[in-house]
Structure 1
Amino acid sequence: MLANSAPAGSPAASVLGASQTEYWGMDFSFLPDSWQLLDSVQDGEYLILRVQDQSSSHRCPHCQQPSAHVHSHYVRRPQDLALGQRPVTLLVHTRRFRCLNPACSCVTFAERWPDWLEPHAQRTCRLAQRQSQVALQVGGEGGHRLLQILGEVTSADTLLRLLRRLPLPEFTTPRVLGVDDFCFRRRKTYGTILIDLERHQVVDLLQDREAATLARWLQDHPGVEVMSRDRSGEYARGAASGAPDAQQIADRFHLFGNIREAVETWLRHHREELRECPDPMPRSSPPPDRPLAKPAARPRRTTTRRRLRVVVARRAERAQRYEQVAGLFAAGHSFSAIARQVGLARSTVTEWLRREGFPARQTPPSSLTRYAPFIQARMTQREWTVTQIFDELVQQGYGGAFSGVSAYMTWLREGHEPPATVDQLGVALSREKRLGVREMSWLFTLAPDRLTPEMTRRLGLLVNRWPQCQTTYALIQQLTSLLRQAPTPGSSLLTTWITKALNSGMAEIQRLGRSFQKDFAAICGAIESPWSNGQTEGQVNRLKLIKRQMFGRGKLDLLKCRILLA
């Protein structure tokens, strides 16, 4: 063999010409000990090495009897690791031997190198191992691009085939199991990920999130004592069926999510309390930088009247759709069937039917909202003009535009309720920022010591002026503080809270209390046990990253390889 340089008079030196002296500094010790380098040829960017095994005999792979009787020869052309950035092709002169054991079923056999080159393989074992690791880390397409730079060109499909051939690691049944779902296609198909929470390792992936699938896995792998899961009813039934003696723990992250969703739904049904200006700041005098002189422009009646007709028509169409939805619901149709027939989203149908009466659109207040009583009273008098009313509003502190007052009065003259938004863009509003439903539901669940002064002020604007809100906020804080103190004995406290929620008289809080009552044992486990699904969520994020590397097209077997072996 050749290592660093070929000695004078050696077979390698006799066949390597002067044009190949650029390879003399390379180390060819990677070749098997019994192999000899016969020749080296440069073909474009490729380096071709002709090698041959110098052993006199080989053992039959079936009967293990040695044989030196050569039957025939042929050449194999496997790829090997690149030297520098030059792809390497080996021309392996392979011999076929005749088996000398008459009792053996094998007549002839080819010489083999188990740790170097597998039978019928198109690449050496070490090249296949490297390409498998590249595919394991960056996927098929990413690995194809990376190996092109490294001089080991192969297709993405080949990398995925190599990846699927890797054996999956063995695992022992975890004592504490974390269960969560992940999506193959968002809102279409989902799977289940199983985590050993003590070893911080992914155990297995399931093809769906059905109760029967989880129960079957638990029955095949007995020994699970604690199972942390989300609030899914399928996982609860699967755990009860597959491991009835295991303690179920509802994940605290999902519990906080359920609480926030209940508060958000409750606030959405009382949106008028949020959109009302909570802290009006009337101005006794006009701003110093605004002149008292009125603009010379006249109201743009054409634009306002056109907008009025469009809005009124849309209101009538929306009211007609609501009547159609209410009629279909009274006839016994499901929400999904109503949504398909009327042409609305199912969430819109659900929101409409949960309210009592036609759900009028709620828009934020405008700069004229606080002056609406004055304008309406002034228009009941016999003599008035838009200009006169505008001047009087300016004297009272109105800082908006003349066109806004004109459009507002046009709506009133036509006998319609005007929209609350400002007609003229660029009008500065001196009002409190609107309290958003999602923002307020988030503030309800935060601990008081985590609230900033601005958060505390905005929360107080709502809680201090609305008695029902004070009751809801107190209930939510009692529950969230109980979950934050985990692990702590809390079954009696949870029972007390559920009783208060059921007696609160608020449908959304009562619904939350009933769901907690139904899953009482698992929620008690969340309060009294230190285990949670935190690291399970982290593994789901890792799985999402792997799927994004594969452009979201990873199948179950491929995902298993990448998440269990990487």
Structure 2
Amino acid sequence: MIEILNSRDTQKVNEALRKYTNLKIISRDRGVQYQAINGNYIHVADRFHLLTNLSDWLICEIKRQLPSQYSLRNYESAQNGSLKINDPGIDVMSDATKRKLAMIEKARLLSDQGYSQRYIATILCIDRKTIRKYLQTNDIIKTASYVRNGTTSYLDEYIELITELCQQRKTIKVILQRLSESGINTRYSTLQNFIKNKIGPNMKHENAHSKITQYQIIQYVFSWSKNKNVAKHFDEIVEAYPFLESYKNFYDHFKKTLTSLDRNSMKSILNERYEDKIVNDFTKSLKQDSEAVLNAATYRISNGVTEGQVNKLKLIKRDMYGRASIGLLARKVIFQSQLTHETNLLCG
């Protein structure tokens, strides 16, 4: 890092660049003010920004069309793992059971990270014997449940019917209506408490993977996360929302073209006309800066080093906010970068 500019204005950037007579290649984002830079430079659009731009375009459309949760038509029972706090089926548990379940999950997470039982007990303010029980139990749902012993209800004889309806993800209102149709009269609050206290703690894992969130689908489409449940049911999801497959294929192809530096493939992407309006509009926006985009699939140079330091630069900026001019800020940032570089050389 050699300089920080106090403006993105095209004229001021031009003035700053004239000082560097040997400058031949500029790696940048696709801001209009940078596209208008004068000089015989080779402009290279940054690959990170290109992929971010593409994902932003596609995510907006995915969020518009995709529900917040997708309910799977066919799903199998979860064979391993524990029921998480945000899993379907746990909403019938009492608040106390949910809090205890969250505590067990936290204890197990800390244990997986290598912390001792003594340390976990200190952090969570729980007796070590209790922590040991949390870590050794195979059925955390049963361990977390608060079951009242000795209490009975006139709904006990209908528990199988109510449990079956709960496993079908029926609402309390629907269950109440079904019971009424069978000649079983009860109140909404009575049924709600019965489900919480007697059925909720014993709910099976059949619903643990019955729904996939919008965010999990987005992560899978852009290969940000290899969610096995999404991968397993992606064909079913695509059947309901076909555009997801085309988005995933286009994103993967675009990403591969950039990372493999395939200029000819990038030309094909820019020149092709797509049926999907979002993809077509995105490629049109690239054509406005086509040479820089083609160079992104030609040269290995990128903004990666600078982008990797953004958080550090912003921390310095916040530390000096209101107490320094742009000149002092620039000197401190450059000094900090040089110091880090020299330290890395010494450590290396």
Per the normalisation by structure 2, the TM-score is 0.57
Return 5+ residue gaps in structure 2 as ranges: 78-157, 179-191, 337-348
Q: Which residue pairs with 2:275 in the alignment? A: 504
Partner residue of 2:345? Answer: none
Conserved? CA contact 1:256–1:445, under 8 Å: no
The 1:266/1:475 distance shift into structure 2, 3 A limit, reads: same
User: How many residues get paired?
Assistant: 239
- Alignment equivalent of 2:16, drawn from 212, 217, 222: 217
1:503 partner letter: Y
Deviations 1:15-62 (A, max 9, x none): xxxxxxxxxxxxxxxxxxxxxxxxxxxxxxxxxxxxxxxxxxxxxxxx
Q: Whose RCO is larger (CA < 8 A, sep 6+)?
A: 2
**1:522 partnered with 2:292:** yes
Structure 1 equivalent of residue 70 of structure 2: 276
Which residue is 1:231 aligned to? 30
1:550 aligns with one of 307, 314, 320: 320
Q: Report the CA distance between 1:467 and its aligned residue.
A: 3.1
CA 1:463–1:483 in structure 2 vs 1: closer, same or farther (change >3 Å)? farther
Deviation at 1:224, TM superposition (A): 1.8
The within-5 A match list for 1:69-84 is none
Aligned residue type for 2:174: V
- Structure 1: give runs of 5+ residues left out of the alignment: 1-201, 284-388, 410-421
Distance 1:516 1:246 in 2: 19
For 2:50, the equivalent position in structure 1 comes to 255
Letter in 1 for 2:335: L
| Contact 2:162/2:175 (8 A) holds in 1 | no
Match of 2:209?
432
Overall identity of the aligned pairs, in %: 18
CA contact (8 A) 1:205 1:560 kept: yes
Partners of 2:235 and 2:323 in 1: CA distance: 48
What pairs with 1:265-304 in structure 2 (closer than 5 Å)? 265-272=60-67, 275-281=69-75
Matched, 1:494 2:266: yes
Larger Cα-atom Rg: 1
Q: Deviations over 1:106-150 (max 9, x none)?
A: xxxxxxxxxxxxxxxxxxxxxxxxxxxxxxxxxxxxxxxxxxxxx
| Alpha-carbon distance in structure 1 between the residues aligned to 2:42 and 2:3 | 20
The answer as to whether partners of 1:279 and 1:432 remain within 8 angstroms in 2 is no
The amino acid across from 1:265 in the alignment is C
> Which structure 2 residues correspond to residues 445-464 of structure 1 after superposition, within 5 A?
445-446=222-223, 451=226, 453-454=228-229, 456-457=231-232, 459-463=234-238
Structure 2: distance between partners of 1:262 and 1:553: 38
Contact 1:445–1:480 (CA<8 Å) still a contact in 2?
no
Deviation digits for residues 354-411 of structure 1, max 9, x if unmatched? xxxxxxxxxxxxxxxxxxxxxxxxxxxxxxxxxxx998665567466884436789xx
Equivalent-residue separation in structure 2 for 1:433 and 1:548 (angstroms): 45
Q: Which amino acid aligns with 2:286?
A: F
Counterpart AA for 2:275: S
8 Å contact kept, 1:209–1:234: yes
More helix by share: 2
Deviation at 1:203, TM superposition (A): 1.7
- Counterpart-to-counterpart distance in 2, 1:497 and 1:425: 55
Q: What is the letter of the counterpart of residue 325 of structure 2?
A: K
* Higher percent of residues as strand: 1
Cα shift at 1:455 = 5.5
> Out of 471, 479, 500, which is 2:254 matched to?
479
CA gap of 1:390–1:268, structure 2 versus 1, over 3 A, is farther
Task: Provide the aligned C-alpha RMSD in A.
Answer: 3.9
8 A Cα contact 2:238 2:244, kept in partner: yes
C-alpha distance in 1, partners of 2:172/2:166? 16
Partner Cα separation in structure 2 for residue 401 and residue 446 of structure 1: 34
Normalised TM-score (structure 1): 0.37
- The one-letter amino acid paired with 1:249 is V
